[in-house]
């Protein structure tokens, strides 16, 4: 199963430069990296990134990912939380998230 991390452009550029990241400010404050499933992604974008340009979506395979915990969050839904740095080697692919008139366009998440 894939999980997704959203980075703003400066966070993404730092991730590329450093080969990994402890996450965005909210991740640092909470002590883990917030990820979303494909089903959770639209609400995550609407709630935390509405109207923000220059976002990057990173896809991470959850199978066998060490330090990953599924924990209840919004409405009791289980969200993937990564309790270590996100490494470049964890990312299967990344791409920009275009901001259209109806919000961010996630396209095919496969």
CA dist., res. 62 & res. 90, Å (int): 9
- Strand ranges of the sheet holding 68-72, from the earlier edge strand across to the other edge: 33-34, 78-82, 68-72
Residue spans per domain, the chain: 2-100
The predicted-structure confidence for 47-88, as pLDDT tens digits, reads as follows 999 999 999 999 999 999 999 999 998 788 999 999 999 999
Over the stretch 29-51, which tens digit does the pLDDT of each residue have?
Answer: 999 999 999 999 999 999 999 99
Instruction: HSE, CB side, 13 Å, CA atoms: give it for residue 12.
Output: 18
Angle of CA points 81, 85, 90, to nearest 5°: 80
Predicted TM-score (pTM) of the model is 0.92
Reported CATH class of domain 2-100: alpha beta
Please state, in angstroms and rounded to a whole number, the distance separating the CA atoms of residues 10 and 86: 16
């Amino acid at each position: 199963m894939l999980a997704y991390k959203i980075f703003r452009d400066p966070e993404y550029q730092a991730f590329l430069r450093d080969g990994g990241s402890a996450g965005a400010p909210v991740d640092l404050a909470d002590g883990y990296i917030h990820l979303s499933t494909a089903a959770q992604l639209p609400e995550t974008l609407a709630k935390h990134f509405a109207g923000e340009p220059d976002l990057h979506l990173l896809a991470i395979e959850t199978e066998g990912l060490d330090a990953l915990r599924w924990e209840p969050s919004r409405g009791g839904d289980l969200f993937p939380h990564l309790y270590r740095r996100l490494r470049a080697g964890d990312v299967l692919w990344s791409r920009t998230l275009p901001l259209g008139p109806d919000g961010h366009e996630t396209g095919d998440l496969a």
